[in-house]
Amino acid sequence: MQKIKIDKQFIVFIGLAVVLAAELFIFLPWGIGSISKTGRAVKRLKQKIETTKTEWPKRKDYLAKIDDLKKEIDKNKNKIIASGHESKLISFISKNSQKYNIRIKAITPLDSYPAEDKKFNYIPFRIEAEGGFHDLGNFLAFLQKDNYFFELKELTLAGYRPNKINILLCGLEEK
């Protein structure tokens, strides 16, 4: 049997070549990928820091706006009538019409129907009344900005002093 001669320099060269190939094809791409991920993360953090630097001084304004918006939401929630409380709307309309010199002859509730967004129902009322044109305008303006959401669907005026008024007015009800 012959002995195989192993050249130590050749084995060291092959070992170094394997290590360099592993470095070149395995560890170097992994390192570059890791560096690139770190770079993107650093960029995002820098953007967050800059945003925080500009927005942090404004936080008190934002908190005040949040409180104002919560109050506005609560106020608007109260303008929507709970289901089954249509008589509150009739009472409200009747009571306040006197303040504006509108004499209501009849208020007739009609069948409710869904609003456009399907989360609410319109509660329509046919109102027959008498009063002056300017009084009517003031009364309708009052209704649209006060306690409840009202939408004027129809308005008919006839006669003169006093005007005969026929209104289709819709309140808003939760489903």
pLDDT digits (tens, 9 = 90+) for 153-174: 888 888 777 788 888 888 888 7
Q: What is the rounded CA–CA span in Å between residue 150 and residue 84?
A: 17
pLDDT digits (tens, 9 = 90+) for 96-116: 888 888 898 998 888 888 888
In the chain, domain spans: 8-73, 86-174
Question: Could you tell me the sign of the dihedral formed by the alpha carbons of 68, 121, 103, 91, in that order?
Answer: negative
What percent of the chain is modeled with pLDDT above 70? 95
- Strand, coil or helix: what is 105? strand
As a CATH number, domain 86-174 is 3.30.70.60
